[in-house]
Structure 1
């Protein structure tokens, strides 16, 4: 009899757990939990160059859930630098657009701080392909020249991710954008 009572109690507990878990999954996030952000690009990497250039990129760009349908509402920053033999420059940009699809992200921003003369106030764009240990990256100035030169770059524009991330670097993470269509 004791065995039947224990078995019945265990079955009742399992059934209750299954019902409450199913209800929680069906209703979505628990009250008080924020919904998943609409898109994101985060992480840091160095680029590979056979000449030994020291090139780094770091991203902290986000599109909040409530702005799911407007990538121009993205926020955050990204930074990049390029040095060779002690010469080069760095820049920090304020994000003004973020669009992601699958494991690819395009982010643009206006340079707010740089030691490259003429770069501040200019928009630049970067594309990241999140491939795990073999991430790739591209940037708008590959086609337009130095970020301090050229015409005004539109928001959400960059180049194909043609550069290879240096071995042992690259922890990019892309959260795919899923706009309501």
Structure 2
């Protein structure tokens, strides 16, 4: 497969996933104090929201919120992470598009960017009747911009996008509220 073909395929998969569902992942506020074990080698924590733009046809103006608390332990491989995520997506009139959460299984950190992947353990996507999300993988990419608007990217396995452990995407949307802290 040529590079151009690979790039086109990746762009189509990302576009389809973004069009199918813009979700939020729960992240602890950037100014939150560490709780519990602080010996983690790498960590992403925070809670941030954004309003979807025209880049998400049919979902412009929708509110998404992401919460994440993920870590790796000292001397563990980056492929092993633990923690939790929560995502919500609402229409401007408050109707629920998606609400799901799950457990982190992989965390990779480089500079101020973290990629966390996990499996949905509980959730619903009423905007897409018949879509089963429990048991599917998700990937969240968080870019910590040190107090300025952070950025997010995501991939949803529930809508056919393949998700491998610690696989991420460009953090393509700027947050409008909240923030993330990436360490490691």
TM-score under structure 2 length normalisation: 0.67
What does residue 100 of structure 1 align with?
Answer: 109
Decide which structure has the larger Cα Rg and report it. Answer: 1
1:91, 1:59 → 2: CA distance? 12
Q: Any idea what SS the aligned residue of 1:148 has?
A: helix
Which whole-Å CA distance do the structure 1 matches of 2:180 and 2:161 have between them?
Answer: 29
Shift of 1:35: 7.4
Cα distance in structure 1, aligned partners of 2:38 and 2:161: 38
How big is the shift at 1:140? 1.2
Cα displacement (A) at 1:83: 1.2
Is residue 45 from structure 1 mapped to residue 52 from structure 2 by the alignment? no
Using the alignment, how far apart are the partners of 1:35 and 1:54 within structure 2? 32
* TM-score under structure 1 length normalisation: 0.68
The structure in which a higher percent of residues are helix is 1
Distance 1:136 1:35, change over 3 A: closer
User: How many Å separate the matches in 2 of 1:122 and 1:42?
Assistant: 22
Structure 2 residues not aligned, in runs of 5+: 1-36, 54-59, 126-130
Aligned to 1:139: 154
Cα offset for 1:133? Answer: 2.1
Q: Secondary structure at the match of 2:51?
A: coil
Q: How much does 1:92 deviate?
A: 0.4
Distance 2:80 2:166 in 1: 12
The question of 1:109 aligning with 2:115 is answered no
Partner of 2:179: 171
Root-mean-square deviation (CA), in Å? 1.8
- Runs of 4 or more off by more than 4 Å in structure 1? none
Whether the 8 Å CA contact 1:45–1:172 is kept in 2: the answer is yes
SS at match of 2:39: coil
SS at match of 2:163: coil
Aligned equivalent of 1:154, options 164, 170, 175: 164
How many equivalent residue pairs?
Answer: 134
Deviation sequence 1:82-139 (CA, Å, 0-9, x none): 1113130111021010000110000000000111231110011010100022100000
